């Protein structure tokens, strides 16, 4: 890759409210929330270097076999019944999506080259969240066409729903997708850490609560001989620096693959809307609220191991493959990639909007819907979502997690990171 002059200007303005209804931090390189990473006059070089990386994203992803999707169907512990927190996260960034599409989507350019706008929702799962989110994006784009006098040029829309091949696409298409809709749909099974779509075919990429899922647990934390071995814990926030570094490096590798693939697939000027769990750069990892929840679960599992109900070795080798993304992680990833500019980056929080006090039982059931498959596979539990041992694990987790609900509210703030990237 050619060396480039980098320009970066990210700063943190505390407490600015842009209409999402919560106190939030806003990262901005200028007054419109833009963090520019590379100069626009270098667009041609950058485009070439993105294309050069086309094959990198096509490598076989053996990690796919280690990934487990959300629990399918519509049962008690299904993702579709237990994803209201993720829905709240999407709702809270709707106003930001409205702004960023209105300001940054170049419809004159799009309408001169295509009659179809292709929107990919990456990590769509099986519930209705993906439907609401993509429907919202379509409405905002249509409104933009009307407001700019392009009424007669309103395009057709195609929504490409992506998730791992084991995702319950049947429930998505039979229960969640409305029968009346003004867009075409297709399912695209595969890992978003590799190529999924043809070159220059996507106008908008949306990924909500997906990118923080690592492609795999970092190998060194499973190695008993490594200083990063994560004995007795299932997460990194209260673990050693070596464990935390291993998680961060895995995220770096994954996000690089993600951006390389999207750089090839997106049209120039295309927008990427990303929502991940997150934390401000200045928050120490031991203070991250998401970590306290996983620690409560890890401690429940260790109690069960000590009582002989499950194997301690299995607890030692179980780790939650989720990374809490900091703004600087994204700034550095975008710099390394070079094909995107950061148009908006903002921390916000869905949790405070849901209930006061926080409904920890609902949080635990959400965790069961998301992690149940992974846990069942790891601990060799059959009939995983309804088994007694699974009930025991999550009952204990439920009791310990109550501590989390008494946490100081300041720790619960800014637990979601919204980032908009533009393909150069
Ligand atoms: C918490 S769910 C979010 C679902 C939905 N976007 C929402 O907001 O409700 C995360 C989704 O990302 C999917 N996922 C995780 N890693 C993935 C990967 N490498 N490729 C594609 N999908 C992935 C999971 O299977 C899961 O359905």
What pLDDT was estimated at residue 41? Answer: 45
What pLDDT was estimated at residue 349? Answer: 79
Q: Is the per-residue pLDDT at 184 higher than 50?
A: yes
What pLDDT was estimated at residue 83? Answer: 80
Query: Does the residue 38 lie in any domain?
Result: no
Tell whether pTM > 0.85. Answer: yes
Highest average pLDDT, of 28-42, 47-61, 157-171, comes from 157-171
Highest average pLDDT, of 5-19, 107-121, 235-249, 286-300, comes from 235-249
Q: Is the per-residue pLDDT at 61 higher than 70?
A: no
Query: Does the residue 171 lie in any domain?
Result: yes
Q: What is the mean predicted confidence (pLDDT) over 145-165?
A: 95
Centroid of ligand 1 to alpha carbon of 209 (angstroms): 7
Query: Does the residue 159 lie in any domain?
Result: yes
3-state secondary structure of 339: coil
Q: Ligand 1 atom 8: the closest Cα is on which residue? A: 208
Residue 263 and residue 405 in contact, taking contact as beta carbons nearer than 8 Å: no
Confidence of residue 92 (pLDDT cuts 50, 70, 90): confident
Number of domains the chain is built from: 1
Centroid of ligand 1 to alpha carbon of 416 (angstroms): 15
> Which distant-in-sequence residues (6+ apart) come within 8 Å of 424 by Cβ?
38, 40, 43, 46, 47, 268, 339, 340, 341
What pLDDT was estimated at residue 385? Answer: 58
279, 283, 286, 287: CA torsion to nearest 10: -80
15 burial type by CB count under 10 A (0-12 exposed, 13-18 middle, 19+ buried): exposed
CATH of the domain at 200: 3.40.50.150
Mean pLDDT of the chain: 83
Query: Does the residue 264 lie in any domain?
Result: yes
Confidence of residue 53 (pLDDT cuts 50, 70, 90): low
Centroid of ligand 1 to alpha carbon of 167 (angstroms): 9
Q: Ligand 1 atom 10: the closest Cα is on which residue? A: 210
Confidence of residue 90 (pLDDT cuts 50, 70, 90): confident
Q: How many angstroms separate the CA atoms of 418 and 420, rounded? A: 7
383-402, pLDDT tens digit by residue?
655 688 999 999 999 998 87
3-state secondary structure of 270: strand
Query: Does the residue 320 lie in any domain?
Result: yes
25-49, pLDDT tens digit by residue?
334 333 333 333 433 445 456 556 6
**CA max distance for the chain:** 69
Q: Ligand 1 atom 16: the closest Cα is on which residue? A: 213
Domain that holds residue 347: 71-423
Centroid of ligand 1 to alpha carbon of 211 (angstroms): 8
Centroid of ligand 1 to alpha carbon of 412 (angstroms): 23
Query: Does the residue 42 lie in any domain?
Result: no
Q: Ligand 1 atom 13: the closest Cα is on which residue? A: 123
Query: Does the residue 168 lie in any domain?
Result: yes
List pocket residues of ligand 1, CB cut-off 6 Å. Answer: 67, 69-70, 83, 86, 90, 123-125, 127, 129-130, 162-164, 167, 191-193, 208-210, 213, 215, 370
Pocket of ligand 1, candidates 92, 135, 164: which has the most ligand atoms within 8 Å of its Cβ, to mutate?
164
> Which distant-in-sequence residues (6+ apart) come within 8 Å of 370 by Cβ?
70, 71, 79, 82
Q: Ligand 1 atom 25: the closest Cα is on which residue? A: 69
304-340, pLDDT tens digit by residue?
999 999 999 999 999 999 999 999 999 999 999 999 9
What pLDDT was estimated at residue 14? Answer: 28
Centroid of ligand 1 to alpha carbon of 126 (angstroms): 9
What pLDDT was estimated at residue 70? Answer: 84
Confidence of residue 116 (pLDDT cuts 50, 70, 90): very high
Centroid of ligand 1 to alpha carbon of 347 (angstroms): 20
Query: Does the residue 200 lie in any domain?
Result: yes
Q: Ligand 1 atom 11: the closest Cα is on which residue? A: 123
Centroid of ligand 1 to alpha carbon of 213 (angstroms): 7
Centroid of ligand 1 to alpha carbon of 326 (angstroms): 19
Q: Ligand 1 atom 3: the closest Cα is on which residue? A: 209
What pLDDT was estimated at residue 44? Answer: 53
């Amino acid at each position: 890759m050619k060396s480039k002059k980098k320009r970066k200007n990210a700063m943190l303005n505390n407490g600015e409210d842009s209409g999402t209804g919560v106190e939030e931090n806003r990262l901005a390189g200028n007054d419109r929330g833009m963090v520019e990473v590379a100069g626009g006059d270098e667009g041609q070089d950058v485009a070439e270097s993105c294309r050069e990386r086309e094959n990198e994203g096509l490598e076989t992803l053996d990690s796919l076999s280690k990934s487990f999707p959300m629990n399918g169907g519509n049962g008690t512990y299904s993702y579709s019944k237990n994803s209201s927190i993720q829905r709240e996260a999407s709702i809270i960034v709707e106003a930001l999506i409205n702004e960023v599409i209105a300001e940054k989507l170049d419809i004159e350019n799009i309408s001169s080259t295509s009659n179809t706008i292709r929107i990919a929702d990456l990590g769509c799962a099986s519930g209705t969240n993906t439907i609401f989110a993509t429907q919202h994006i379509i409405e905002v784009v249509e409104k933009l066409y009307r407001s700019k006098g392009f009424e007669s040029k309103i395009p057709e829309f195609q929504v490409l729903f992506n998730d791992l091949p084991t995702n319950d696409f049947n429930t998505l298409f039979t229960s969640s997708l409305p029968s009346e809709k003004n867009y075409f749909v297709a399912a695209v099974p595969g890992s978003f850490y590799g190529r999924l779509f043809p070159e220059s075919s996507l106008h908008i990429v949306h990924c909500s609560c997906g990118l923080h899922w690592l492609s795999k647990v970092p190998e060194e934390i499973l190695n008993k001989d490594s200083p990063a071995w994560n004995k007795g814990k299932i997460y990194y926030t209260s673990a050693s620096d070596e464990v935390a570094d291993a998680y961060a490096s895995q995220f770096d590798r994954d996000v690089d693959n993600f951006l390389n693939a999207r750089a090839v697939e997106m049209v120039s000027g295309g927008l990427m809307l990303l929502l991940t769990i997150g934390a401000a750069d200045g928050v120490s990892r031991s203070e991250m609220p998401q970590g306290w929840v996983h620690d409560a679960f890890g401690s429940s599992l260790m109690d069960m191991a000590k009582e002989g109900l499950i194997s301690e070795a299995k607890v030692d080798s179980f780790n939650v493959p989720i990374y809490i993304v900091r703004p600087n992680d994204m700034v550095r990833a975008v710099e390394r990639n070079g094909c995107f500019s950061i148009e908006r980056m903002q921390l916000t929080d869905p949790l405070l909007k849901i209930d006061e006090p926080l409904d920890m039982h609902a949080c635990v059931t959400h965790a069961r819907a998301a992690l149940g498959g992974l846990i069942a596979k790891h601990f060799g539990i059959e009939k995983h979502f309804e088994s007694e041992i699974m009930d025991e694990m999550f009952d204990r987790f439920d009791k310990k997690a109550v501590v989390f609900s008494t946490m100081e509210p300041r720790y619960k703030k800014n637990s979601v990171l919204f980032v908009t990237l533009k393909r150069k």
